[in-house]
Amino acid sequence: MTRAWLADLAGAGLTTGPLFRPIDRHGRIAARAHPAAGRGRRERLPPQTVNLIVKRAAAAAGLYHAEAYTAHGLRAGGATSAAKAGAPMSAITRHGRWADGSPVVAGYICQADKWNDNPLHGIGL
């Protein structure tokens, strides 16, 4: 689904910038912010809208406690998945738009499995 959306964005000439963008009633994807355009013209979706979309998608998928899913979970999940895949902390920090060297990013990386994610696992102790 993400790849299809990225292809749609690329088809609209949008290869950089926000992933979550408004779409108007005519199906046009927001290309860029227009400061003089006033309310309603945004390049990216407001956080509250992304949160609502996540909650609705979780409910539609029949997830247990769907109301507990949030847009903030996307941020934590992205950082956690990147760390588990071996991405360097500097890349995770940059991608998540945390300040360079910020210790805050470490708080977003969740320990998924306390036994398998144990740093002493496999050293013979």
Give the pLDDT of residue 37: 47
Domain identity same for 51 and 102 = yes
CB 74 within 8 A of CB 54: yes
In the numeric block, which tokens belong to residue 17? 């910038």
pLDDT in tens, 57-69: 999 999 999 999 9
Number of domains in the chain: 2
Domain identity same for 8 and 57 = no
pLDDT in tens, 1-47: 789 999 999 998 899 888 888 888 888 888 765 444 455 556 888 88
Domain identity same for 63 and 37 = no
Phi and psi angles of residue 75, each rounded to the nearest 5 degrees, phi first: -65, -50
Classify 3 as helix, strand or coil. Answer: helix
pLDDT of 79 strictly over 70: yes
Give the pLDDT of residue 115: 59
Which of these, 84, 65, 74, 76, lies nearest to 18 by C-alpha position? 74
